[in-house]
Amino acid sequence: MHMGDRPMKIVYALESTGLYGGTKVILRQAEALTRRGHEVMVVSPEPFPTWFEGTVDFCQASLRDAGPFRQAHWVIGTYFRHMPSLFSDRMIARKLWHLSQGYEGGWPEAAPDLPEIEKVYRFPIPKMTVSSQLSKSLGKQFPGRYYSVGQGIETQYFYPREEMVTWASKDKLQCFLVGTFPASVKNITTGLAAILKARNRLGSRLQLVRITTQNTREAEERLYGPIDNYHVHLAPRKMGELFRSGGILLSPYRKGEGFGLPPMEAMACGIPTVITGIPSFLNFAEPADYSIFVSPEDPDQMADAICFLAGRPDEAKRLAHRGIEVASRYSFKKVAGNIERTLRMEYIRRLCPNWLNVLFRNSGMKKKL
């Protein structure tokens, strides 16, 4: 492995090319690294995603096929299911990373896979995460080397209206609820209950807008009643357009959420948000004054927050402007730079195990213990 300051060959292993936030993040990371001059390829057993409006070098192949990974300087695994086969190949294992966007073992539905998940997180390989909070949380449970490379949003799709028009009309207030109904971490059942309570107080003015990757409308309407707008597999471009039509976003996610892209994407579009006080959401920025925070298990508190914003356009406007400012800090260009520095530092660390001592000695600086 001879990289120095030269372009690196990086290969991502991608389990699925379905329209999921995690898939989108991996593809955008690869694209941003390519723009920095690196040779990056994404390998997946599924075909290239037709919903992705970007440019990446893509190879459809089995993740058990070592061929696409052997010539890479670095291999980045992204899901626990394919990590064992990559790790079992000695040539690949020595350059393997684990990119985690959230701990899969924290979800109740993952219980049957928990032994395999824990085994993968204990692999003696370096790990990247999308937030410092996630690195800290995983590091407590699975000691090792963790590097936070940050998270990005697609700024070409998620941006505010050119003119900050009235965020809601007197006749209509949209409330966005994003996430898959069966996923316990998304807590959609509680979100539906909260919006129903708010609608009972605000009347027909409040309109639920559901965005999901799975069509479970029938099951959801048994809990909520008729849903005004129900969108399945909404492309990122369309999602941005929908957010810019105005309203409130409710994110009732539970603690197992790794980052939570929908709130950040909504804030980028100038949408005031009501989100749960989970660690990942509270760490978007300091001070945490960019949203109304609620308990993930309290639909009454969520409903109160929605009704509060409905009657306080001044506070909704403040949150909209603050959200835009916070979201502007998150870009895949920045993430790619962080990944590049992380990989180069790891290369130096392996080349010279005492590199940190040498660095401080040559610079004349004193290392703080």
> Are 107 and 95 part of one and the same domain?
yes
Residue 301 lies in a domain: yes
- For 102-121, the pLDDT digits (tens) are 999 988 888 999 999 999 99
| Mean pLDDT calculated for residue range 3-10 | 83
User: What's the longest Cα–Cα distance across the chain?
Assistant: 69
The CATH number of residue 270's host domain is 3.40.50.2000
Mean pLDDT of 267-282: 97
pLDDT at residue 168, as a whole number: 55
Whether residue 43 sits in one domain with residue 188: no
The mean pLDDT value of the chain amounts to 92
pLDDT at 367: 41
- The residues that bridge with 99 in the sheet, in sequence order, are 128
For residue 351, what is the enclosing H or E element?
A: helix 332-351
Instruction: Please give the share of the chain, as a percent, with pLDDT higher than 90.
Output: 85
Q: What mean pLDDT is predicted for residues 136-144? A: 96
For residue range 334-353, list pLDDT tens digits in order: 999 999 999 999 998 888 76
170: nearest Cα among 199, 210, 201, 204? 204
**Which tokens is 310 given?**
């409905």
Same domain (yes/no): 148, 99: yes
Nearest in space to 243 (alpha carbons), one of 362, 169, 159 = 159
Res 369: pLDDT: 36
Q: Are residues 182 and 142 in the same domain?
A: no
Of 5-19, 128-142, 144-158, 162-176, least confident by mean pLDDT is: 162-176
Average pLDDT of span 110-133: 96
Instruction: Report the candidate in 125, 85, 88, 122 with the shortest Cα–Cα distance to residue 103.
Output: 122
pLDDT surpasses 80 at 301: yes
- Give domain status of residue 163, yes or no: no
Same-domain status, 37 and 143: yes
pLDDT of 351 reads 81
Distance CA 341, CA 196 (A): 47
**Does residue 84 sit in the same domain as residue 18?**
yes
Residue 125 confidence class, pLDDT cut points 50, 70, 90: very high
Asked if pLDDT for residue 236 goes beyond 50, the answer is yes
Residue 71 lies in a domain: yes
pLDDT confidence of 256, banded at 50, 70, 90? confident
CA distance linking residue 349 with residue 168, whole number of Å: 54
pLDDT value at 356 more than 60: no
Copy the structure tokens of residue 323.
């959200």
What is the structure's pLDDT at 319?
Answer: 97
> CA-CA distances (angstroms) from residue 272 to 16, 36, 324, 326, 344?
32, 34, 9, 12, 39
Same domain, 335 and 318: no
Q: Tokens for 199, please give them.
A: 């609608």
Q: How far apart are CA 217 and CA 225, in angstroms?
A: 10
